[in-house]
Amino acid sequence: MIDFSHPDIRDCVERALEEDIGPGDITTQACVSAERMARGRFVAREQQVVAGTELLPIIYQIRGGVEALEIEKLSGACAAHGQTIATVRGRARTLLECERVALNFLQHLGGIATMARRYVDAVAGTGCRVLDTRKTTPGLRRLEKMAAAAGGVMNHRMGLYDAILIKNNHIAAAGGVGQAMANAQAARLPIEIEVRTRAELEEAIEAGATHLLLDNLTPEEAAEQIRWIAGRAKVELSGGITLENVRAYAGTGADYVSSGAITHSAPAVDISFRLELD
């Protein structure tokens, strides 16, 4: 799971608050006295996997004015319709001005976690693991990958800096599969390589590849290639993998399947914030 003390997380929250509140919430300032105290509840309005409630202490700490915060559902927990996710008590102005930022995070991240859980459930019993991708919202990758992990998905590399994934354009630029592998091995990092043909597959294994990426195959084509590989390398399948077909791909004998839809196409879950006077 993600480290919520990471400076990138606080920076993301600070930017979100500044974007929404700016120099001040003029509606709240005009309507609500500075002394007014209130309570608020975040309530699930549909079945969902919760993600991002650990951001609430950061949001309210940055704005100030909150006396009590209780998180009832941590990231990864399930919430049924009508269940309370978190409660907060403090200055009414603070609760109102932070409402949309808090909901934006909880709804978006909860949507990713819920989608991730659906993928994981769809491949249950196959022995295949679901991976996320780098197809994330700019500036939100760390949080979106946290949400995917909360849903049970295995995080792939965080960025271009923490693992080597040689794709077809890298192979073309390096001068071939064997040359790309030889060049990459000097970095002494985990290496995964995309192969498109039987010849490239054999060349990659000959060069020492232990993790192969097969892209844009049908389940039947993938199963045939995996039989040919015969356990000589781990296999990841990607390209066109959806919630509807992921089990067919997982059943090919692949070790991993990856889907960008988990982060780039997950609909937000429905959560409401209900405020009451103290």
DSSP-derived pairing of the beta strands 129-131 and 84-91 = unpaired
Q: Clarify whether 25 is annotated catalytic.
A: no
- In sequence order, which residues have a C-beta less than 8 Å from that of residue 198 and are 6 or more positions away? 225, 228
From CA 79, how far away is CA 73, in angstroms rounded?
7
**Residues 244-249: contacts with CB within 8 Å, 24+ apart?**
245/219, 246/119, 246/122, 246/123, 246/130, 247/122, 247/123, 247/126, 248/219, 249/128, 249/219, 249/222
38-75 in b/e form (b: 16+ CB < 10 A) is bbbbbbbeeebbbbbbbbbebbbeebeebeebebebeb
| Cβ pair 135, 153 in contact under 8 A | no
Residue type, 112: I
Of the residues 36, 45, 100, 196, which is catalytic? 100
Of the residues 194, 200, 203, 255, which is catalytic? 194
Q: Clarify whether 145 is annotated catalytic.
A: no
Q: Clarify whether 141 is annotated catalytic.
A: no
Burial class (CB in 10 A: 0-12, 13-18, 19+), 113: buried
Of the residues 135, 196, 232, 234, which is catalytic? 135
CB atoms within 10 A of CB 22: 9
Of the residues 20, 72, 202, 215, which is catalytic? 215
Of the residues 167, 196, 232, 234, which is catalytic? 167
Q: Clarify whether 135 is annotated catalytic.
A: yes
Q: Clarify whether 100 is annotated catalytic.
A: yes
Active site residues: 100, 135, 167, 194, 215
